[in-house]
Amino acid sequence: MNDRTLRRSIDEPIREGLSWHERWDRDDRGLIACWENGRELSQRNPEQADCAKNGELIKLGWVGGVSQKLKQRVFNGTLFYLAKWQGLRGDDLDIDVDGDTVLECLKTGQVVKYNSKLPIDSEISGDVKLI
């Protein structure tokens, strides 16, 4: 990681045979594993990949996907979601782990802000960091 931006090319092969610690307990804190998960999901479910490629922020098992417009103007999502979504779309992994990434779901119009804070914990304690 340079400048606290995590990048990995879509041309890189998906890593195989790694232990749990190798996938989740390194400097990237599992973001590469989430991105690789999204890449694998795109092969199993091309319909979901098409939705993501069309700008939909579909539900993917991490906080950050939306199925409808919410009352709150900006919804908070995790970098784990963003990494998986980038992989599902077939994009390079490109995440600023210290900043915010703001996307608007083209299906629902909902704005989602992705960062390293857990949405639930940040409301309780104010400053929980994952990375």
pLDDT class of 4 with cuts at 50, 70, 90: confident
Top pLDDT among 129 and 46 is at 46
Q: How far apart are CA 125 and CA 25, in angstroms?
A: 23
Average pLDDT, the chain: 89
Q: What gap in Å lies between CA 36 and CA 111, rounded to an integer?
A: 25
- Helix, strand, coil shares, percent, the chain, to 5: 35, 20, 45
Angle at which helices 46-53 and 31-44 cross, to 10°: 120
pLDDT per residue as tens digits for the range 5-44: 999 999 999 999 999 999 999 989 999 999 999 999 999 9
Residues near 15 by Cβ (< 8 Å), separated by ≥ 6? 23, 32, 36
